Chain A
Amino acid sequence: MRFLTKKLFYLISFPCLILAGTCLFLFFIPPIAQAALNRNFVINWQFSNIDWVEFKDNHLMLKGFWDPELTIPTIDLKAKDFYVLAIRIRSSNPMGFMRIRWKGDSRTRFYPPMEIPLKPDMGFHTYRFDLRNRTDLIKLWKGDVSKIVITFFGFGDTIEIEELSISRPEGLYEKAKIVWENFWIPAIITSASINKVDSPFLFTLPFIFILNCGALIVGIGIIVFFYGGWGRKGTPKNSWRQKMISIVLPLFLTLWFIYDIRDIYSQAYIVSSVNNGFRKPEAKKYFFDLTDFYSFAGFIQTSLPEGTKKFYFYQPDSRNLFALTKYLLYPSVPVPLDKDGVADIHVVYKNPFVKVKDGMLYQGLNQIAKGIVIGRYDEYSFIFKEMKQGRND
């Protein structure tokens, strides 16, 4: 008996030791960095929509006008070998998010983006994404990747990047950690979020796809088992039907609940973001990708001259805030810039190309109108009142 116990002990402990050793080995293999954040690399990066950028002490700091973007050339980056993008950043926007796109395999268009909300506490955080996570089961991270573009959504935010690398996780632990981290990345909120809820990813597949497959396999298995006759041998009809549904219902409910836990987490994240951004009793209230636009709209409401029916609206490029402005400022109506002479008020929001110099409003190099600034929200956001020549002379 003692011999048997000893044998059993060795039998069990030997594979355990091998397993533990393998785990330890995998644990300590360092990831291979491809595009790390150092001066040699940063020199080749391109920046757009930014006010200024500074690289100091291996720290990249930039201030955006709107949606600042950095383009990273990744010559001959093998998608197969490197697929985890790690970025350690801090943003001044508690409700902002970043978007990652890439181009490769001689494609002219960028692949569909990956969007990740930034943590609302405005501190430094490391975000790691498995770029192979597939939308609609189509493999997009493939071949040679020539460019990676990271966009930080928001107006006038300051972004600090401490680390950036593209690597391949080595070891089971590292891989599991990436899968786990990516699974819990909450969905971003945009004005189109009400149309569709995206599934999180697990092992590069949409999580809902895995659950649906599970439900389908179990469901069909149960149908075959019971209707094929195996499950109902010797039992009356009502009894086996009852047994069948007693298995199916808790199983489906469990699968539903598993997805729901993740969904509740996403909702709790939204509540926490709103509490840290929009509900803070501060003058500038942040709201997801709109940053402080609602505060700006409030400022316009109180600063527009009484009786203003129409005004020209200059919004940041690549964004369409026209409909929202129309709603928020009704009965005052924003009019497109191509309609000449219908308004004498010009409202500018975060548009660095629209400036006032010597009493003249310029859009780029074009003179727009002569007049005065009657309200200033920030450096690039203000209300300008046009002074008609006849009246002033």
Chain B
Amino acid sequence: MIKDILLLCAAFILPTIAGYLTIAAMDKDGMVSCIERIALSFAVGAGLLSFYMFLIGILGFTFSLAALLPFFLISGGIAVLLTRNNGGMKSENKNINTFTGTRLSLPKVIINFVFLCLIAWRIFFAIFNAFTYPPYFDDAVTTWDYKAKVIFSNKSLGKNSSTDFLGGGTGSGYPLNTSLFKVWTNMMVGKWDERYIHIYHVTIFICMLILFFISLRQYAATTISLAFSYILASIPLMAFHSYGGYADLATGFYFFAAILMLARWIHTNMDSFLYIMVILVAVMVFTKNEGYLIFTPAILATFLYFLFISGLSRKEKMKKVSVLVLGILIFIGPWLITKNIYNIGIGSFPIEFHKKAFAELLRVFFTEGSFNILWISAVLLLMLNPKGAANRLCLPYLLPTLLAFLATAAVFTFTVNFEWLWVRTTINRSLLILTPSIVFSTALLVLNLNKGCVK
């Protein structure tokens, strides 16, 4: 058992180090603070490792620790070479996350403590269930965990003519990021153990909360940051996804982190944020199909809009667009080529208008308990502060979120996917992906109204 725990720790720490080094290599100007880097490191490292596993798998190599060793050597080596000339973390960023020096009043200490306890409960609940629950939920059993088990058992991505190709399961066109990381975890432990496969989701959940809190705290006071972190952690549907084995929460994390980096790039014009965003968007596409159908276009549209209104020269603009598009394609290219060669797309969705969708969506927002009162509160806060929404601080976060929201609603209203709204399966999970960015944008709207909440 102790050996398993140590190997399990190594399975999570190694990709985190790779991710940390990658971010450090990208962030030449030291713009990303230390805790933010740590919160991003696991997701970035795990994503890159999955890309590497997919690449060697599709080239016909079998998965073994020896075959995976080059990933750590290459990523570590490149990162060390690239970070040699880096200036280190900026002094102002070093101070972003210091909690000492600010004296809080007793009521604030009590409120912060209550919020921390409520968040801690959510984390406990996720950890308890991740270690206890056997694979149980529908798509985890038929797709996400199933793919991982098949790939782990075959030690390869399988032959294209077999039912085990790309892990088999109900959808061979499903991206493999989460499944391949589960393969890696079990390879490290040396056996397939159901207890370990959902730790990935808990880790992403915790990383998301840390990233959310730290990012918000750059604008807001500790109590406000904790309050909104609590709101994010306590979204009722989030509780199931923090251990359930689906890929929606991970997609939500990558979407939110990519938006954060995009907004920073818009606010500072520092290219390091753009580079990190490229990786995050690429991993998001490799996590769920919605990644390239809905969320990448939303991010690209926001990027192009802000690039268009920026004072950069045409040549500079072209350079930035090229960096973004080519960067994403370099990472995701092998997956898209594979999809194309083996014709494992997402299928076709004939356009058809469903009048009933509006009433159903209203029911989802108004009478069902998956998101607490998130939708009504967000709409009301938007109505309270329409000018704040268009503010340069808030818009880079709000615009991609709104675009993705509208695209999600459109998919269920104007295509055959209405069926999944009717039975309430995919709709709630698709909306869950948006929740971190919605709560963050809402928090910024509040800050814009009340300067007293600002740090």
Contact = CB atoms under 8 A, between A and B. Distances in A.
B383 A219 contact: yes
A198 B363 CA distance: 12
B376 A242 contact: no
Select the residue from A206, A220, A252, A290 with max chain B CB neighbours within 10 A.
A252
Contacts of B140: 194
B268 interface: no
A274 B118 contact: no
B145 interface: yes
A253 B424 CA distance: 27
B197 to A, nearest CB: 11
A302 to B, nearest CB: 15
A191 interface: yes
Interface residues of B, number: 58
Nearest to B224: A249
Given A219-B376, A331-B153, A242 B451 contact: yes
A212 B376 contact: yes
A198 B153 contact: no
Interface in B345-384: 363, 365-370, 372-373, 376-377, 380-381, 383-384
Nearest to A266: B236
B324 to A, nearest CB: 33
Interface stretch (B68-76, B178-186, B237-245, B308-316): B237-245
Nearest to A135: B367
Contacts of A220: 380
B77 to A, nearest CB: 37
B234 A260 contact: yes
Given A200-B369, A208-B372, A278 B132 contact: yes
Nearest to A238: B451
Interface stretch (A68-76, A97-105, A320-328): A320-328
Contacts of A216: 376, 380
B373 A222 contact: no
A228 B54 CA distance: 59
Given A136-B363, A238-B451, A248-B381, A191 B373 contact: no
Nearest to B134: A294
A195 B428 contact: yes
Nearest to B138: A191
Interface in B114-141: 118, 121, 125, 128-129, 132-141
A367 to B, nearest CB: 31
Interface in A36-93: none
Given A194-B246, A263-B236, A327-B142, A215 B384 contact: no
B269 to A, nearest CB: 29
Contacts, number: 168
B153 A219 contact: no
A252 B230 CA distance: 13
A287 B384 contact: no
A257 B23 CA distance: 37
B372 A259 contact: yes
A193 B428 CA distance: 11
A360 interface: no
A215 B375 CA distance: 10
A365 interface: no
B294 to A, nearest CB: 18
A288 B426 CA distance: 23
A219 B240 CA distance: 30
A184 interface: no
B105 interface: no
B384 A330 contact: no
Contacts of A294: 134
Select the residue from A191, A195, A246, A271 with max chain B CB neighbours within 10 A.
A195
Residues of A in contact with B, size category? 35 or more
Contacts of B299: none
B137 A197 contact: no
B450 interface: yes
Contacts of B372: 208, 211, 256, 259-260, 263
B246 to A, nearest CB: 6
Contacts of B449: 241-242, 244-245
B264 interface: no
B292 interface: no
A267 B124 CA distance: 11
Decide if the interface of chain A is mainly helix, strand, loop or mixed. helix
Contact of B239 (A191, A207, A215, A263): A263
A223 interface: yes
Contacts of A204: none
Interface string A179-197: 0000000000001111111
A312 B96 CA distance: 61
Given A245-B384, A245-B449, A330-B153, A267 B239 contact: yes
A330 B149 contact: yes
A346 B172 CA distance: 29
Nearest to A290: B136
Interface string B221-241: 000000100010010110111
Interface string A258-294: 0110011001001100100011000000011010001
A255 interface: yes
Contacts of B25: none
A219 B384 contact: yes
A377 to B, nearest CB: 17
Contacts of B414: none
B38 interface: no
Contact of A196 (B384, B425, B450): B425
Nearest to A248: B384
Contact of B237 (A197, A212, A249, A323): A197
B234 A212 contact: no
A196 B424 contact: yes
B146 interface: yes
A208 B367 contact: yes
A294 B139 CA distance: 18
Contact of A255 (B134, B153, B244, B373): B373
Contacts of A1: none
A198 B373 contact: no
Select the residue from B134, B139, B149, B425 with max chain A CB neighbours within 10 A.
B134
B452 interface: yes
A27 interface: no
A370 B370 CA distance: 52
A203 interface: no
B369 A199 contact: yes
Contacts of A330: 146, 149-150, 153
B339 interface: no
B237 A287 contact: no
Nearest to A222: B384
B429 interface: yes
Contacts of A136: 363, 367
A8 B368 CA distance: 48
13 contacts: A136-B363, A193-B137, A194-B137, A206-B368, A211-B373, A212-B366, A245-B449, A248-B381, A253-B227, A263-B369, A267-B121, A267-B125, A278-B133
**Top 9 A-B pairs ranked by shortest CB distance?**
A199-B369, A219-B380, A245-B449, A197-B236, A245-B450, A194-B137, A195-B425, A194-B240, A197-B370
Given A200-B369, A263-B369, A287-B134, 20 more contacts: A191-B141, A194-B138, A195-B138, A196-B368, A197-B368, A212-B373, A242-B452, A245-B450, A246-B450, A252-B373, A259-B372, A264-B118, A267-B125, A271-B128, A278-B132, A290-B136, A323-B142, A327-B141, A327-B146, A328-B135
Interface of B: 118, 121, 125, 128-129, 132-142, 145-146, 149-150, 153, 227, 231, 234, 236-237, 239-241, 244, 246, 363, 365-370, 372-373, 376-377, 380-381, 383-385, 424-426, 428-429, 446, 449-453
